Amino acid sequence: MPRNSPLTAVAGPPAPAPAEVASDLAAVGSWAPAGDLPQSGYFALPDASAVVLGEAYGHRVLIAGGEDAARTAQKGAALFDPVEKKWEPTGSLSVARRLHSTTKLADGRVLVVGGLTGPFTRPFAPLSSAEIYDPGTKTWKTTGGALHEARFSHSAIALGDGRVLVTGGLAPRDALTELSLSSAEIYDPVKDEWTQVSSMHDARSGHPTVALDRGRVLVVGGMLSIGRGLYTALAFCEVYDPAAGPNGTWTPAGSLQVARKAHQAVRLGDGSVLVTGGDSTGALHDWTYNAYSQWVTERFNPANGTWSEVEPMSVGRSHHRAVALRSGKVLVIGGTEDATFDVGYQNAEIYDPSVGPRGTWTSTGGMVTGRWAGVAAELEDGRVLAAGGLIRSGAASPDSADVITAASELFTA
User: How many other C-beta atoms can be found within 10 angstroms of the C-beta atom of residue 29?
Assistant: 16
Question: What is the rounded average pLDDT of the residues 294-303?
Answer: 95
Model confidence at 201: pLDDT above 50:
yes
The residues, ordered by sequence, that sit 6+ positions from 24 with a Cβ below 8 Å of its Cβ are: none
DSSP bridge partners of 98: 116
Residue-wise pLDDT tens digits, 99-117? 999 999 999 999 999 999 9
Nearest Cα to Cα of residue 374 among 396, 390, 385: 390
Q: Band of the pLDDT at 8, cuts 50, 70, 90?
A: very low
Domain range for 179 is 30-412
Determine the Cα angle at 364 with ends 315 and 391, to 5°: 60
The residues, ordered by sequence, that sit 6+ positions from 120 with a Cβ below 8 Å of its Cβ are: 70, 71, 72
pLDDT of residue 285: 61
Q: Tell me, yes or no, whether 4 lies in a domain.
A: no
Residue-wise pLDDT tens digits, 127-150? 999 999 999 999 999 999 999 999
Determine the Cα angle at 325 with ends 320 and 326, to 5°: 170
Are 300 and 260 spatial neighbours (Cβ–Cβ below 8 Å)?
A: no
Q: Band of the pLDDT at 292, cuts 50, 70, 90?
A: confident
- Tell me the DSSP string of 17-29: PPSS----SPPB-
Q: How many angstroms separate the CA atoms of 296 and 272, rounded?
A: 17
Terminal alpha carbon distance of the chain:
34
Nearest Cα to Cα of residue 204 among 172, 179, 239: 179
Question: What is the rounded average pLDDT of the residues 15-28?
Answer: 48
Q: How many angstroms separate the CA atoms of 113 and 228, rounded?
A: 25
* Average pLDDT, rounded, for the chain: 92
Total-model pTM: 0.92
Q: How many angstroms separate the CA atoms of 413 and 407, rounded?
A: 20
pLDDT of residue 2: 34
Question: What is the rounded average pLDDT of the residues 29-38?
Answer: 96
Q: Band of the pLDDT at 4, cuts 50, 70, 90?
A: very low
Q: Tell me, yes or no, whether 206 lies in a domain.
A: yes
151: domain CATH number is 2.120.10.80
Q: Tell me, yes or no, whether 376 lies in a domain.
A: yes
pLDDT of residue 89: 97
Model confidence at 64: pLDDT above 50:
yes
Distances (CA, A) of 305 to 175, 243, 277: 39, 19, 20
Q: How many angstroms separate the CA atoms of 224 and 381, rounded?
A: 39
pLDDT of residue 27: 77
Q: Give the DSSP letter of residue 364.
A: B
pLDDT cut 70: percent of the chain above it: 92
Are 49 and 42 spatial neighbours (Cβ–Cβ below 8 Å)?
A: no
Report how many domains make up the chain.
Answer: 1
Burial of 154-168, coded b for 16+ CB within 10 Å and e otherwise, reads bbbbbbeeebbbbbb
The dihedrals phi and psi of 213, each to the nearest 5 degrees, come to -70, 165
Q: Tell me, yes or no, whether 85 lies in a domain.
A: yes
Q: Tell me, yes or no, whether 24 lies in a domain.
A: no
Q: Tell me, yes or no, whether 5 lies in a domain.
A: no
pLDDT of residue 398: 87
Q: Tell me, yes or no, whether 18 lies in a domain.
A: no
DSSP bridge partners of 102: 112
Model confidence at 284: pLDDT above 70:
no
Q: Tell me, yes or no, whether 22 lies in a domain.
A: no
Beta-sheet pairing, 297-301 with 273-276: antiparallel
